[in-house]
Structure 1
């Protein structure tokens, strides 16, 4: 353990330089050709394909695995991209253990599923390395569509629209496209700048123009977009972070986990990124797990996740929870934050109250405990900021704090569709679900623009 790891407070350079590269290396190294063929041979190519039913984008999994097994990984990539143009990133970040692999017949019978995610990565990486473009744009339709947000939903929507012959302008508030794929996932899940490589691959189809640093409500209004374009797709993410609602949470050292992850993802030198010696993460989802593990990998001595309910209630999958434990992260359940201990304006610890379920309702027991900490991360969910939508005087129906859409992604406002985390019933933290929403909305927009439907 490096001597610098024992620096008090929040500090950079806790590890020896070579340790950072080792700690943040690829979580699941890619298959080579032989490994892919051996793994593909384990697939039963089920007729009813429960794995395919469990995939939000309905990729024909038995088909692409059969293509790999017959030595055709490029053809397998085409099968994947037909349904999910972000199949490369989804292969890296999808919780396959709770989706396709969970229902794999091999998992049910033997407890060891076919490694579908790694096979998907092998196929898509092979095609992308060869710069294989499978799609030619249809004849120009003369229609122009604005897409707000260059995250998974927006990119999937833009690609499908462009393939159908439409011209697409994507407005992205950040300096880079990619959304959560670029800013919001653990660095060890997507190495070597893959998020941007995938953006480049998607936009290479043509007809997609990305404008960065353009935020809805600041640089343009929804009414302006609706009047200037034939259709609009809203694929904004969740900009707000829920508060702890704990006394003293304004103390220095209390930080949003999403901001920490974004900063880490954009860091040129991880040795320059400060982290606490004792870190507490409040939350039970993927963001909490990613923040906790990466704090540990940066050299934090003690990292504790505190979640207000039980292990079985955590949004993070069992695989991710086990991964955190394997990295030395302690996960404590049935605890909710009560107050941040402030020492001279800085975090010195956090007081937590034990919780329990009483008549199905979560309540505090009145018993408390203290955990020493010099850094506390908030990872208790994000909220959608609706303020940019209605500044023009137009209104969009909302429900539960998010945009209400129909089965095709249409909003209550004419010419406007939406999808991804900003809509009601979005499956948060699932890139693949956002891709499906963007793809399906694009098909709806295409039908509306090329038929007699009212847009």
Structure 2
């Protein structure tokens, strides 16, 4: 139990409530449901859904394979482009990507359920325990991957398929990155993130060294000396500051840490949560933290975002889900002061408006009760290795992830450009691996 304040406590709910609240939010389709859903697809020749997918999965093909009763073949179609297709089926904002582009959505306002069909196919194959890919002929080349998140795992798997030996270095006790530590528990329950990592590793040729990261038992120069190529997939581990008075008070926490603690908790009834929780931010992390606070028993949960609703990066579906469980969302307000005696008790906001000079704080303010404040206002790169060019707070890259240092690639959230999505990270890791392979084998030839 948190001793900082009586308001932040564990065990707010009855024993059965935690299991119900954190059950799978969108259980997989059964075989009949999948066939019915697949039959709605027009199997477009110039499929806009495929163009909208960052990993360019052949969506019409895999849906046709489901429709003809071969979900394992459909899964291989998916995995050939996105080896983390199982998790992406659970966490991708499909309503903003493939499903938004679906012809059915444009014509009828109801797209083919591409995400759920993808989960049906990938789960069907993974449950067999079969890994559909084999390692290529050994090349004698050794590649280091720093970071075991989506980008790092995708790069490692593709490199292993090409016959290279791969070593992944990661700071945490478990591989998976944000898939393991950074998404809502109800999106991937029952240890799915680790099951997916274990399944991916069946390709062979990939070793994982945990408790190691840049500056923590590993240096970029050392990696370059001991490997033929290096992939940096280190994510964004820093959290932006509120830049508000009182930010250092007790019970002002990082939302990413709150989510990570929840994901790793064996008994959610032991997790402390406030009675009045305020989450500051407008992205997926803010929504996940707010919704899970409610599911843990918080009485009043409010998301406050500094701009208008149209600029929130969390999808409309995620916002609707948040309000459906009782989360209040306030737009056009920014924090100016956390108030309390040693610990957070209230937080003061100023209304905002957009202007040609940027966002302006208005004179009018308001306060919300808050015994727990969560920061979800974006993450930053925790120090790029010396010699790497940085652009916009991320590692600058050209082409398919080449950095300013020869022999070093970067992919995922740490790399400049692209969107901070799991599916984008997978695409960048995969493409960096293809470029590394071409580079190494060209050099070998």
Provide the TM-score with structure 2 as the length reference: 0.98
Is contact 1:145–1:229 with CA below 8 Å preserved after alignment? yes
> Hey, what's the Cα distance between the residues in 1 that align with 2:444 and 2:305?
48
Residues 142, 164 of structure 2: 8 Å contact kept: yes
- Separation of aligned partners in 1, 2:383 and 2:394: 7
Pair 1:438 & 2:429 matched: yes
* Partner residue, 1:361: 358
Is 2:368 aligned against 1:371? yes
Counterpart CA distance in 1 for 2:57 and 2:418 is 20
Which of 408, 419, 444 is the aligned partner of 2:400?
Answer: 408
Query: 1:426 Cα deviation (Å)?
Result: 3.3
What SS does the corresponding residue of 1:101 show, helix, strand or coil? helix
Report the CA distance between 1:452 and its aligned residue.
3.2
Contact 1:307 1:334 in 2 (8 A): yes
Measure, in 2, the Cα distance between the counterparts of 1:408 and 1:278. Answer: 45
SS at match of 2:168: strand
Structure 1 residue 359: Cα displacement: 2.6
2:82 corresponds to:
84
Query: Does the 8 A contact of 1:253 with 1:347 survive in 2?
Result: yes
Aligned to 1:399: 391
CA–CA separation in structure 1 for the residues paired with 2:17 and 2:274: 17
Q: Deviations over 1:274-315 (max 9, x none)?
A: 000000000000000000000000000000000001111101
CA distance in 2, matches of 1:400, 1:377: 25
| Aligned-partner Cα distance in 2 for 1:159–1:359 | 46
Which position in structure 1 is the counterpart of 2:242?
A: 244
Matched residue, 1:386: 383
**Partner residue of 1:144?**
142
Are 2:410 and 1:418 aligned?
Answer: yes
After superposition, where does 1:19-30 map in structure 2 within 5 Å?
Answer: 19-30=17-28
Q: Is contact 1:145–1:168 with CA below 8 Å preserved after alignment?
A: yes
TM-score when scaled to structure 1? 0.96
The answer for the alignment partner of 2:282 in structure 1 is 284
Q: Report the Cα offset of residue 8 of structure 1.
A: 4.7
> Match of 2:175, SS?
coil
Tell me the distance in 2 between the aligned counterparts of 1:15 and 1:8: 16
Q: Which residue of 2 aligns with 1:312?
A: 310
Cα distance in 1 for partners of 2:419, 2:399 equals 15
Other structure's SS at 1:20 match: helix
Q: What secondary structure does 1:145 align onto?
A: strand
In structure 2, what is the equivalent of residue 3 of structure 1? none
**Helix, strand or coil: the match of 1:274?**
coil
The structure 1 segments of at least 4 consecutive aligned residues displaced by more than 3 Å after TM superposition are: none
Name the structure 2 match of 1:95. 93
| Structure 2 residue 319 is the aligned partner of structure 1 residue 321 | yes
3-state DSSP of counterpart to 1:11:
coil
Deviation, 1:360, is 5.8
Question: What RMSD, in angstroms, separates the aligned Cα atoms of the two structures?
Answer: 1.1
CA distance in 2, matches of 1:400, 1:62: 37
The correspondence of residues 43-442 of structure 1 with structure 2, limited to 5 A, is 43-343=41-341, 345-359=342-356, 361-387=358-384, 389-390=385-386, 395-428=387-420, 430-442=421-433
User: Is contact 2:131–2:200 with CA below 8 Å preserved after alignment?
Assistant: no
Counterpart Cα distance in 2 of 1:357 and 1:446: 47
CA contact (8 A) 2:158 2:434 kept: yes
Alignment: residue pair count: 441
Q: Spell out, residue by residue over 1:164-217, the C-alpha distance to the aligned partner (whole angstroms, 9 max, x if none).
A: 000000001100000000000000000110000000011111000011111111
C-alpha distance in structure 2 between counterparts of 1:418 and 1:68, whole Å? 35
Q: Specify the alignment match of 1:447 in structure 2.
A: 438
CA separation of 1:96 and 1:278: change in aligned 2, threshold 3 A = same
Conserved? CA contact 2:85–2:122, under 8 Å: yes
CA–CA separation in structure 2 for the residues paired with 1:163 and 1:155: 12
Q: Identify unmatched segments of 5+ residues in structure 2.
A: none
Structure 1 gaps of 5+ residues are: 1-6
**Residue of structure 2 in register with 1:4 after alignment:** none
Counterparts in 2 of 1:360 and 1:69: CA distance versus 1, 3 Å: farther
